[in-house]
């Protein structure tokens, strides 16, 4: 990744010169301006503010009003491994940030290092999962293959007919809305300006390489612009004559009524993992690891947990549906059946509510974290796909560290936006 420009960009105060501009419009300057108040933007703001930078974050709704607030709250982590790569940094680094929010900074984010049980239904899934566990263990990761009996000692509600479980004890869970809002609150506490109900309607790069960012009531001039707009990054790219290949993928979930505690781990299933290993399914316009292709189901994916409020929540489908966030009842039904194959008690529990959100998928499945080389002083943190809640905190920190030091961490080579962002104008 090319080195970012040093942060000491001097930003000229720009007067409001347009006679047509609404009289309520004000002009504000910002050293660093972040578009998007999801987990990626909030974490970037927090870490930049902690490093002493002048940061403004603009969010068109409330903090965590999109994917970062509606996700399952599952935090993936399997250890640093013998040779920590981008994935190890994103997951293990994020785990430490979640722990710090709850244990050191005093935010109640309902964090719990519960561990995860990954259910094995068939002989083929067993062979695949056994090989995967052996590979991960050989590379220093903290995973184990449990018999069905061993797994039921940890999670009594599991179906005795399962052939076993992959156990990931480091995996955790937290309330996604509370955790994302805690990052934004910690950013504000460190001096960042967090502006909600503030939709960015246009962005232009000026001759001095600063950015003119318009909202309904304010205009901002930013020395450095950071795009953290989740599934809407492509729209912001278009305003700047760039093609940012991030596609919205609909994820959907359902919940039972609140119940007394009966589920202790996060739960997932080996079916999709094995299917995607054999055929990730991506092409020049389709991201990998989707449950549907051309409207037809390819596999069943499953993740879920019981929240602190008692709801049992599950989801899994990942479908291209544009910006449609209406849940598909047929997919919810398939997911409910899949979950009940893992936890038979769910056959007796009806669905109390459903919802959906949009995940930012890149076409190669890897995140985009770093400088967009076609424009000076332009950065992005996105493409966190289906695991951006668990990886977003460290994604924001890695970008903040790169901006602060001018030296991107070497693992960010695997997330370099230069590999896929192109110019359209
Ligand atoms: C149903 C579902 C379940 C999931 N489960 C999990 C899980 O269990 N674990 C996990 O790790 N991940 C999970 N994910 C994925 C995870 O939620 C996302 O990867 C992550 O939240 C993406 O964060 P983000 O900050 O990049 O995007 P977002 O959270 O979408 O934030 C982007 C923000 O930018 C704002 N924005 C966009 N355009 C503008 C504009 N023009 N002006 C101002 N603001 C703008 C939006 O309003 C939004 O708030 C799930 C996702 C879904 C939908």
- pLDDT tens digits for 106-119? 999 999 999 999 99
Work out the average pLDDT over 380-399.
98
Per-residue confidence band for 284, with pLDDT thresholds at 50, 70 and 90: confident
What is the distance in A from the centroid of ligand 1 to the CA of 41? 10
Residue 320 and residue 298 in contact, taking contact as beta carbons nearer than 8 Å: no
Using the predicted structure, report yes or no on whether residue 240 has a pLDDT greater than 80: yes
What is the distance in A from the centroid of ligand 1 to the CA of 274? 26
Nearest CA to ligand 1 atom 51: 71
| DSSP secondary structure code for residue 291 in this structure | S
Question: Which atom of ligand 1 is closest in space to residue 391's alpha carbon?
Answer: 11
Per-residue confidence band for 25, with pLDDT thresholds at 50, 70 and 90: low
pLDDT score of 7: 34
pLDDT score of 217: 87
pLDDT score of 26: 78
Q: Is 10 exposed, middle or buried (0-12, 13-18, 19+ CB in 10 A)?
A: exposed
Question: Which atom of ligand 1 is closest in space to residue 215's alpha carbon?
Answer: 42
Q: How far apart are CA 294 and CA 301, in angstroms?
A: 17
Which residues are paired to 28 by β-bridges? 220
Which residues are paired to 7 by β-bridges? none
What is the distance in A from the centroid of ligand 1 to the CA of 20? 35
Q: Is 367 in the pocket of ligand 1 (CB under 6 A)?
A: no
Question: Which atom of ligand 1 is closest in space to residue 64's alpha carbon?
Answer: 49
Q: Is 41 in the pocket of ligand 1 (CB under 6 A)?
A: yes
Query: The pTM is what?
Result: 0.95
- pLDDT tens digits for 136-192? 999 999 999 999 999 999 999 999 999 999 999 999 999 999 999 999 999 999 999
Count Cβ atoms below 10 Å from residue 51 Cβ, excluding itself.
15
* Torsion sign over Cα 87, 158, 301, 357: negative
What is the signed CA dihedral for 376, 381, 385, 386, rounded to 10 degrees?
180
Q: What are the b/e assignments for 401-425, b being 16+ CB within 10 Å?
A: bbbbeeebbebbebbbbeebbeeee
Using the predicted structure, report yes or no on whether residue 3 has a pLDDT greater than 90: no
């Amino acid at each position: 990744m090319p080195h970012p420009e040093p942060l000491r960009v001097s930003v000229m105060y720009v007067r409001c010169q347009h006679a047509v501009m609404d009289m309520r419009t004000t002009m504000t300057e910002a050293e660093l301006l972040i578009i998007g108040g999801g987990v990626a933007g909030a974490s970037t703001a927090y870490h930049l503010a902690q490093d002493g930078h002048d940061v403004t974050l603009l969010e068109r709704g409330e903090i965590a009003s999109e994917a970062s607030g509606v996700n399952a709250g599952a935090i993936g982590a399997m250890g640093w491994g013998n040779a920590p790569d981008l994935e190890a940094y994103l997951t293990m680094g994020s785990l430490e940030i979640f722990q710090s929010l709850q244990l050191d900074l005093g935010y109640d984010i309902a964090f719990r290092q519960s561990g995860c049980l990954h259910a094995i239904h068939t002989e083929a899934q067993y062979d695949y999962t056994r090989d995967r566990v052996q590979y991960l263990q050989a590379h220093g990761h903290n995973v184990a293959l449990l018999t069905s009996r061993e797994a039921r000692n940890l999670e009594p509600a599991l179906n005795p007919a399962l052939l076993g479980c992959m156990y990931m004890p480091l995996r955790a869970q937290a309330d996604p809305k509370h955790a994302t809002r805690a990052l934004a609150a910690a950013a504000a506490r460190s001096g960042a300006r967090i502006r909600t109900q503030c939709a960015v309607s246009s962005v232009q790069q000026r001759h001095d390489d600063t950015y003119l960012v318009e909202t309904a009531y304010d205009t901002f001039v930013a020395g450095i612009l950071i795009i953290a707009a989740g599934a809407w990054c492509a729209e912001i790219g278009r305003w700047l004559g760039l093609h940012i290949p991030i596609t919205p993928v609909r994820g959907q979930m359902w919940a039972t009524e609140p119940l007394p505690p009966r589920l202790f781990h996060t739960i997932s299933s080996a079916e999709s993992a094995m299917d995607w290993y054999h055929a990730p399914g991506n092409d020049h316009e389709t991201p990998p690891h989707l449950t549907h292709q051309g409207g037809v189901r390819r596999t069943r994916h499953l993740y879920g947990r019981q929240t602190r409020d008692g709801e049992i929540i599950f989801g899994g489908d990942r479908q291209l549906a544009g910006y449609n966030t209406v849940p598909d009842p047929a997919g919810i039904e398939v997911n409910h059946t899949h979950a009940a194959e893992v936890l038979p008690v769910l056959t007796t529990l009806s669905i109390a509510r459903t919802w959906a959100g949009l995940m930012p998928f890149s076409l190669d499945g890897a995140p985009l974290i770093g400088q967009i080389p076609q424009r000076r002083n332009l950065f992005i943190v996105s493409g966190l796909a289906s695991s951006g809640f668990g990886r977003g905190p460290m994604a924001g920190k890695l970008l903040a560290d790169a901006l602060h030091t001018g030296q991107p961490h070497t693992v960010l080579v695997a997330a370099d936006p230069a590999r896929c962002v192109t110019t359209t104008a």
